[in-house]
Amino acid sequence: MAWVHLISACILEIVWATAMMKSHGFTLLLPSVVTVVTMIGSFLLLALAMRRLPAYTIWTGIGALGGLILSALSCSAIWRTRSASSRPVSSASALSW
């Protein structure tokens, strides 16, 4: 049962991390509510899983990886940006850092 709690907590962590990004600094109501509710659920399920498993590292890793993948797939701004290879680079700007 601890694994079920842990996997559920991981899924909720991915949801709240993505909803927080979509809330635009907690200015949009629905994503803000989803963030808070799923965050509380994620922490409660993590606490239950930690009674039997060393669950924190698994929860953190799966949540970080899942959040990265989901936000990369859902964030349209990433796909609209020009790639670095298509930008003109002068020798002066390439050498000054």
Q: Which mean pLDDT values do the consecutive 10-residue runs of the chain (97 residues) have?
A: 91 89 91 96 93 87 84 64 54 50
Q: In the chain, what is the greatest distance between 2 CA atoms, to the nearest angstrom? A: 60
Q: Which pLDDT score, from 0 to 100, does residue 17 have?
A: 87
pLDDT at 58: 87
- Give the residue among 35, 15, 13, 40 at the shortest CA–CA distance from 24: 35
pLDDT recorded at residue 77: 52
Give the 3-state secondary structure of residue 24.
Answer: coil
Residue 75: predicted pLDDT: 66
Residue 27's pLDDT is 93
pLDDT of residue 36: 96
pTM of the model as a whole = 0.70
Give me the residue label for tokens 């808070």.
36
- Contact (CB, 8 A) for 12 and 45: yes
3-state secondary structure of 2: helix
